[in-house]
Structure 1
């Protein structure tokens, strides 16, 4: 039983590997079988992911919110269409019963994309008339590049829950899944690309706590 992805990382719209990184073995909890072998991100991989996100974010932020929402909703449609395949992958990754992943995990990620893809067009600044001429206004601006760090027990859900609001509001993301359950985030990255998300906006890098720390402290 194997679930080997094309490569360990997904950066700038394509799979990327660097065999200099520490080995990451993905184990099917039900049997103890190694179902995939990946490599943790090296400092070079981390930099590639961050730079790809930075390069892509500004153009994405200038896109109309309604168009950003349409892309997220297309990704949600693909998640729904591939639910059975993704549920099997999540079961292999986490050991959850297939009866659970089929109804909960990919569907929950899709629902996050649907929700934020639907409401983002309504997020805007406010205009306040103070009377007699003076007025004030607020602007909603994206933060830039965000980091998402996933938990082992909700892999594809966590990736969807973290990326959907960030992307909807015009940010880019570098996502590091748990080293214990790293597979479905790569599948989500491919789905985003298929849905029309510009390259570099959702990047996935693998690794242990040191990779998460490098991302969280990155300037």
Structure 2
């Protein structure tokens, strides 16, 4: 199939229908209060549509629907084969509407269309398929017990799961939550970011078309209020959250204040990308380093925002890095040739620019540092590179933008110390041609994912994803994700 041209995507965008109502109990619904907010595209800063601004009353409706469906077992009570069939049909419908959903994702969040078409949407469908395939293949255990007993260990769905997800990968991050939760038999209330709610609403409609019972999958839209209400709600059994560490802490506090619901958190990162002196391929390392921070405008929790380079090869690597960064010139994300789109909104744009100003006062600006394409009305920033010390603000705090801190070191021990000197522990990478070194360094790095001689590659669903320290707890992806949405039950049967 021929790829669509820039003009094709522009034409499709002009005819696209934008749905802004919440999806509760199988129906599109405005907030009971009647309040709405503007959904603004970062491409040109224009309003796309009005979105329901939900509050506690709407959350109550959504949770009640989810609780009812869980109680009556219209989903959890289906056979594994039946649940699998519905989820597979849902994934097929998402694939069938892939261009529409990719376009919604791009105009809503500023992500390049080439990425949403090739990655975000197909990977979201694949995530649903992957967990659907697990349903009829995972059983329980027969525990060793005395002859007079039979001991069974089974997993049961936890109940009502609230998934609160971010704006950088709106549908994919949601799928990482709702796919295993639904596969395990739970009912779900999804709260997308107010910055990027459109794809969540669309796929919820497709869930009903696929045959999912009404009320099993709900979407409440709005700002921080519905998220907080879900975290506080006594009829929510589990909250799965991806976002900032600050908000993650608040969600844990809400759970502790109410019913002690399960809380799973995938939070921030300030990931180190370590290039040792014996790196065998500086060209590849430079390309990977550029992609690690400039892909998706740097709005990636695992972004390689700290490039730690041995002092003796720093200049050589930096030259190659700056050359690679030129491929990420910001442009209209509807253009398939564009690799870097728009920052998600005005507030995030201002945040990134503030960090860039701090970097100017703390270190050496090597490249970029400016807002561009202001005449479009959109939110675009150049790929930006600083040389700084490990203690600079831009090297310690998560920016969530295309801003790279380059830090020189002299020994492997120093590199590991700098890498681990952070509140975060989501991801890391090490580049070396010495097999002993990469194993030793990988073991010392306090991170949930460590890449060796690559960055952000090999991210199949079979690898668990999550962090150490203040990067959160629990894991998305892999069979381990299913564990988050189940309760273990021991059933002990006396025979005589």
TM (norm. structure 1) is: 0.94
Partner of 1:164, secondary structure, is: helix
2:58: which partner in 1? 45
1:128: which partner in 2? 143
Equivalent runs, 1:90-105 vs 2, <5 Å: 90-105=105-120
2:209: which partner in 1? 194
Equivalent runs, 1:73-112 vs 2, <5 Å: 73-112=88-127
Q: Does 1:143 align with 2:158?
A: yes
RMSD over aligned Cα atoms: 1.6
2:227: which partner in 1? 212
Which consecutive aligned stretches of 4+ in structure 1 deviate over 6 angstroms post-superposition? none
Output one character per residue of 1:86-105: Cα deviation in whole Å (capped at 9) or x when no partner. Answer: 11111111111111111011
Q: Does 1:9 align with 2:22?
A: yes
Whole-Å separation in 1 of the counterparts to 2:62 and 2:114? 35
Gaps of 5+ in 2: 1-13, 235-496
Partner of 1:104, secondary structure, is: helix
Whole-Å separation in 1 of the counterparts to 2:22 and 2:185? 23
Change in CA separation of 1:151 and 1:169 when aligned onto 2, cut-off 3 Å: same
The 8 Å contact of residues 55 and 225 in structure 2, kept in 1 or not, is answered as no
1:183: which partner in 2? 198
The 8 Å contact of residues 148 and 163 in structure 1, kept in 2 or not, is answered as yes
1:150 Cα deviation (Å)? 1.2
Larger radius of gyration: 2
Output one character per residue of 1:5-37: Cα deviation in whole Å (capped at 9) or x when no partner. Answer: 444200111101126254321111110011111
Q: Indicate the structure with greater helix content.
A: 1
Whole-Å separation in 1 of the counterparts to 2:59 and 2:147? 53
The 8 Å contact of residues 20 and 39 in structure 1, kept in 2 or not, is answered as no
Whole-Å separation in 2 of the counterparts to 1:21 and 1:42? 10
Q: How many residues align?
A: 219
1:169 Cα deviation (Å)? 0.6
Change in CA separation of 1:4 and 1:215 when aligned onto 2, cut-off 3 Å: farther
Higher relative contact order, structure no. (Cα contacts within 8 Å, ≥ 6 residues apart) = 1
1:159 Cα deviation (Å)? 2.0
2:457: which partner in 1? none
The 8 Å contact of residues 4 and 35 in structure 1, kept in 2 or not, is answered as no
Of 12, 34, 41 in structure 1, the residue corresponding to residue 47 of structure 2 is 34
2:133: which partner in 1? 118
1:163: which partner in 2? 178
